[in-house]
């Protein structure tokens, strides 16, 4: 009986997981394509260069300077676009999982109903709240009512069945919140590394051109170095944004997990205390 609540929800969760995977599969190449277009048509526009020559002309503004960073620039730009898109997607998913109202207030209401022994009111509150937290709690409350009329188990078995049901419902709901976070976490590292790669490539070209000219040109060398460092700046900036967003989402997920654990513990303790008292 402990597995009964999970059967109708499993296909929904699989469908949601597939949709999230398809979203990631489409988003990555689209971000790369958009970044390349921005690099070529916006940053590489002749208006950003002296004489309108993007190849040999000197950049006249920040756009031109970034464009001079080389082929690594659109790669890092695609990372930045991925961070932005996946962050928006996670905001929407986690916000939906939280439900329509404040999670802390919802937990307090459920606990007050449990203390009063009003399981039906607690279930009704879950219907109002909606979201992953409410789904898990409602599953536990449904099991609570089933165990009240069950005559084949003792109190400890019933308590364990309720706890198991809550754990199973949590296992179905929570992984959806963590999907695509691995992509943001990966961008934290590869953003900086790709930026450093672009800088190293730019420095190799700069010193190679300097050696080939046979005469040191401090102005040309400083320009080449500044262009190479554009990659580092973009890479570090992308990684910094990725770190902030990853920590933000992790914190939100931890808060939801804690709310589920706290309320689930209250459900189990309430059932155990009330029925042992009756016994």
Asked whether 108 and 62 are in contact (CB, 8 A), the reply is: no
Task: Annotate 239-260 with b (16+ C-beta within 10 A) or e (fewer).
Answer: bebbbebbeebeebbeebbebb
Angstrom distance (rounded) from CA 36 to CA 16: 31
Cβ 82 vs Cβ 187: under 8 Å: yes
The domains of the chain are located at 4-278
Distance CA 56, CA 64 (A): 12
Q: Can you give the pTM of this predicted structure?
A: 0.85
Question: Does residue 150 sit in helix, strand or coil?
Answer: coil
Could you report the per-residue pLDDT of 61-109, keeping only the tens digit for each? 989 989 988 899 999 999 999 999 999 999 999 999 999 999 999 999 9
**Is 231:68 a contact under the CB 8 Å cutoff?**
no
pLDDT tens-digit profile of 15-51? 566 777 788 889 999 999 999 999 999 999 999 998 8
Q: What's the chain's length in residues?
A: 279
Instruction: List the one residue out of 87, 178, 194 whose CA is nearest residue 132.
Output: 178
Helices (H) and strands (E) in the chain, counts: 10, 0
Which residue's structure tokens are 């730019």?
202
């Amino acid at each position: 009986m402990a597995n009964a609540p999970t059967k109708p929800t499993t296909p929904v969760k699989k469908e949601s997981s597939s949709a999230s995977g398809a979203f990631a599969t489409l988003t990555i190449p689209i971000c790369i394509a958009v970044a390349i277009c921005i690099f070529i048509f916006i940053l590489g526009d002749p208006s950003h260069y002296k004489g309108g020559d993007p190849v040999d002309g000197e950049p006249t503004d920040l756009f031109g300077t970034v464009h001079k960073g080389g082929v690594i620039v659109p790669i890092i730009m695609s990372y930045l676009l991925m961070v932005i898109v996946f962050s928006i997607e996670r905001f929407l998913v986690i916000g939906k999982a939280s439900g329509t109202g404040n999670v802390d207030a919802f937990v307090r209401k459920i606990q007050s109903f449990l203390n009063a022994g009003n399981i039906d009111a607690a279930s009704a509150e879950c219907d109002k709240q909606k979201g992953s937290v409410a789904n898990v709690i409602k599953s536990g409350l449904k099991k609570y009512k089933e165990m009240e009329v069950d005559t084949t188990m003792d109190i400890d078995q019933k308590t364990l069945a309720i706890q198991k049901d809550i754990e199973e419902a949590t296992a179905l709901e929570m992984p959806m919140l963590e999907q695509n976070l691995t992509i943001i976490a990966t961008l934290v590292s590869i953003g900086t590394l790709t930026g450093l790669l672009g800088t190293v490539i730019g420095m190799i070209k700069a010193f190679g051109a300097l050696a080939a000219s046979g005469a040191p040109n401090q102005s040309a060398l400083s320009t080449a170095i500044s262009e190479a460092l554009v990659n580092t700046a973009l890479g570090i900036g992308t990684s910094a944004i990725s770190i902030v967003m990853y920590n933000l989402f992790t914190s939100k997920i931890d808060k939801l997990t804690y709310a589920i654990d706290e309320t689930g513990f209250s459900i189990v303790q309430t059932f155990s205390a009330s029925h042992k008292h009756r016994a």
